[in-house]
Amino acid sequence: MYEYVHGGDIYSDPSLKRDKDMLDYSANINPLGIPAGVRSAIKAAVADSVNYPDPFCRELRAKISQFLSLPPEMIYCGNGAADVLFRIMTALQPKRTLVLAPTFADYEKAALTAGSKIDYFTLNEKNDFAVTPEILKAITKRTQMVVLCNPNNPTGKLMDKELLLTVLRHCEELQIPLLVDECFMDFVQDRESFSLLDQLAGHPGLIILKAFTKIFAIPGVRLGFCLTSDASLIDKLYACGQDWNVSALAQAAGIAALDERDYLAETRELIAVEKAYLITQLRLIGLKVFEGAANYLLIKTLHNYPWPDKLKKHRILIRDCSNYRGLSAGYYRIAVKTRRDNRKLIRIMKELVKHDLFNYIN
């Protein structure tokens, strides 16, 4: 049977979906929720659903173009970033793809679907799971595509921009496409210091993956896009699947979302404050915390304690990261939420330790 390997599965246990007090820390969604303007836009777009959606997302692409100061011809929109990712792999058909380990599972899945073999650049806990210059040695003449996640999932670690630029130049020398997933970059306060958006125009081999899903809290709507100055790749993406892959509701949501600049600023401030709170409290509980730049934290239990099972009994879900390549049992990922929710999480975790101390330390 097919195995779902991501967070946010509130459907396997129907009681979770019905429980309004359930806290899902396994999915990294903006804790501010859907912006009011986006909700209104989705409702207003229902009437337009009698028509097929624009297959070229013209108005949405124009809005993204204005928002990012990039030509609309460099933008391709899809049914979530994952849909765009699979189209990219289908269009490029790399025979050998280099990915990080650990990282988001769908890079490997999409590459395998396109018939690619996979090579891994394994991140080391001793280096705090940072990508090091050793990655340049892993990108060889046999490599046909490189995929990086920045900030990485589940570690939250940002790549040094100078190293990124060196990787980009190295890929160009070998005529290898470089796909950089920046879906979580919107949560980073000094994102301009790490993003490669400013490199797109001069580097046609560079592809940047983005999403509305996490930052605007609309995973159920499904909306993502990619950016590249390679016009031939954009054409291939349109040819690699059905024409109406972005619904009228999703297009309306994206257009409205890009007007929510105050919401974005408030989000980044909240994430910075609440992440610092969680880091302090989780360490007091005795967990190892890997500090990252995104809206989630990778943690490691120093004892053999089943946190997901224990917390689920209190209607709290966290992401067990043992199925990430390069990680093992005892690693978990926790989203950053509001102070009210974070206090509840920490309170319950402390109570579990207090009442189950023998099992916790053993």
Rounded distance, CA 63 to CA 76, Å? 12
> Does residue 301 fall inside a structural domain?
yes
Residues 176 and 284 placed together within one structural domain of the fold: no
> Does residue 273 fall inside a structural domain?
yes
Rounded distance, CA 271 to CA 187, Å? 7
Rounded distance, CA 144 to CA 169, Å? 14
Number of structural domains found in the chain: 2
Q: Supply the pTM of this predicted model.
A: 0.96
Q: What is the mean pLDDT of each run of 10 residues along the chain (362 residues)?
A: 74 74 94 98 96 98 98 98 98 98 97 98 96 98 98 98 98 98 96 96 97 97 98 97 96 98 97 98 96 97 90 95 95 98 97 82 69
* Tokens encoding 105: 């599972």
Residues 314 and 340 placed together within one structural domain of the fold: yes
* Tokens encoding 142: 């046999």
> Where a domain ends, among 200, 232, 257?
257
Domain with 42 in it = 36-257
Tell me, what's the pLDDT at 359? 74
292: CATH: 3.90.1150.10
149: CATH: 3.40.640.10
For residues 293 and 158, is the Cβ–Cβ distance under 8 A? yes
Residues 58 and 94 placed together within one structural domain of the fold: yes
